[in-house]
Amino acid sequence: MTTTQIANRLVALCRKGDFGTCYEELYSPSIQSIEADGSSVSGLDGIAAKGKEWNSGIETFHGSEIGDPIVSGNYFSLPMSMTLTRKGETESSVFHEICVYQVRDGKVVREQFFYDDPTTAGE
């Protein structure tokens, strides 16, 4: 698959909430995932553990929006936002991020996320 094909497939799957298929179909087993604070995990098991930890802090997931990808060479980026209520909070918040992906040999080999912590955004 080309970078554009991977980008479009990832967006289509994410819009359906089918993240599992994204990982199985599009990600390299040696994927590197980097968060805005610089922390990172490697491999599909690392991503699964990170996702489980993220989900454990959410009381209610209200929905998400995923923008169209912008492709340049072996990279693509896309905007994503999620509305959620975190555990221990009574009001929902909107979480905005830019996601950047690197593709090599037909697989996503690196993902990096850029976002402000919604509890400190605007400071």
Domains located in the chain, CATH noted: 3-115 (3.10.450.50)
The Cα–Cα gap between 68 and 98 comes to 11
Q: Point out which residues pair with 112 in neighbouring strands.
A: 34, 100
**40 contacts 34 by C-beta, under 8 angstroms:** yes
- What pTM does this model have? 0.90
Q: H helices within the chain, ranges in order?
A: 3-15, 19-26, 43-56
The Cα–Cα gap between 69 and 61 comes to 23
Grade residue 118 by pLDDT with cuts at 50, 70 and 90. low
Q: pLDDT digits over 4-27, tens only?
A: 999 999 999 999 989 889 999 999
Provide the 3-class DSSP secondary structure of residue 63: strand
- pLDDT on residue 120: 52
Q: pLDDT digits over 55-102, tens only?
A: 898 999 999 999 999 999 999 999 999 999 999 988 998 989 999 999
Reported as type and span, the H/E element at residue 44 is helix 43-56
Residue 119 has pLDDT above 60, yes or no: no
